[in-house]
Amino acid sequence: MEENYVRQILEAYEGEVAGAAYFDALRRCYPERARFLEECAALERATAERLLPLVHKYGLTPATDALLARVGGRDARAETGREWTAFLRESADAYAGYVAGFLALEAMAPAEDRAVLGHLTAHEVELIRRMRAESGLPGTGGRAPGV
Ligand SMILES: [Fe+2]
């Protein structure tokens, strides 16, 4: 398997674990939005769990959960003080880059990995949809397919 593909699997897994910690830690920045942020963290955790079989399949060794939690916490602290709606909209725009990256990862995947990676892409689309809906943008109702 191509080294670049396997490295991106590892990065995606680590990104989801750190992402869950990030949304968990953000509850301290936005305590009145705790429920929404818990749902985002749960989506990240579920996605990490779905990626775990690929981590094992390729014999990858992720960074420890403790280290990834510190990364997520540090990233969350960087958001301190941002207005909630601006935070949501800017995040949703930034996450579009992840969708493009995950689609590219799907395209290079062997057939047997594509279902898991399809979910990886779908979760990002769903996260963006939720953030846009939470920010009050019109036309953001419903749930993304595959999530
Ligand atoms: Fe994610």
Q: Is residue 72 part of a domain?
A: yes
Q: Could you tell me the distance, in angstroms and rounded to a whole number, from the CA of residue 122 to the centre of ligand 1?
A: 10
Q: Is residue 140 part of a domain?
A: no
**Confidence at residue 25, expressed as pLDDT on a 0 to 100 scale:** 96
What spatial distance separates the first Cα and last Cα of the chain, rounded to whole Å?
A: 27
Neighbours of ion ligand 1 (CB under 5 A): 16, 19, 44
**Confidence at residue 134, expressed as pLDDT on a 0 to 100 scale:** 94
**Confidence at residue 79, expressed as pLDDT on a 0 to 100 scale:** 87
Per residue in 13-24, pLDDT (tens digit) is 999 999 999 999
Q: Could you tell me the distance, in angstroms and rounded to a whole number, from the CA of residue 52 to the centre of ligand 1?
A: 14
Q: Could you tell me the distance, in angstroms and rounded to a whole number, from the CA of residue 65 to the centre of ligand 1?
A: 15
**Confidence at residue 85, expressed as pLDDT on a 0 to 100 scale:** 94
Q: Is residue 139 part of a domain?
A: no
- Split into its structural domains, the chain has a count of 1
* pTM for the predicted model, two decimal places: 0.91
**Confidence at residue 10, expressed as pLDDT on a 0 to 100 scale:** 98
Q: Is residue 84 part of a domain?
A: yes
Write the CATH number for 107.
1.20.1260
Q: Could you tell me the distance, in angstroms and rounded to a whole number, from the CA of residue 133 to the centre of ligand 1?
A: 17
Q: Could you tell me the distance, in angstroms and rounded to a whole number, from the CA of residue 81 to the centre of ligand 1?
A: 23
Per residue in 61-94, pLDDT (tens digit) is 999 999 999 999 999 999 888 999 999 999 999 9
Q: Give Cβ neighbours of residue 3 (< 8 Å, ≥ 6 apart).
A: none
Among residues 99, 17, 117, 18, the alpha carbon closest in space to that of 58 is found at 117
Q: Could you tell me the distance, in angstroms and rounded to a whole number, from the CA of residue 101 to the centre of ligand 1?
A: 12
> Cβ–Cβ contacts within 10 Å for residue 136, how many?
10
Q: Could you tell me the distance, in angstroms and rounded to a whole number, from the CA of residue 15 to the centre of ligand 1?
A: 7
Q: Fill in the DSSP letter of residue 58.
A: T
Whole-angstrom Cα distance, residue 140 to residue 131?
9
Strand locations in 54-140 (E): none
Domain boundaries, position 76 = 3-134
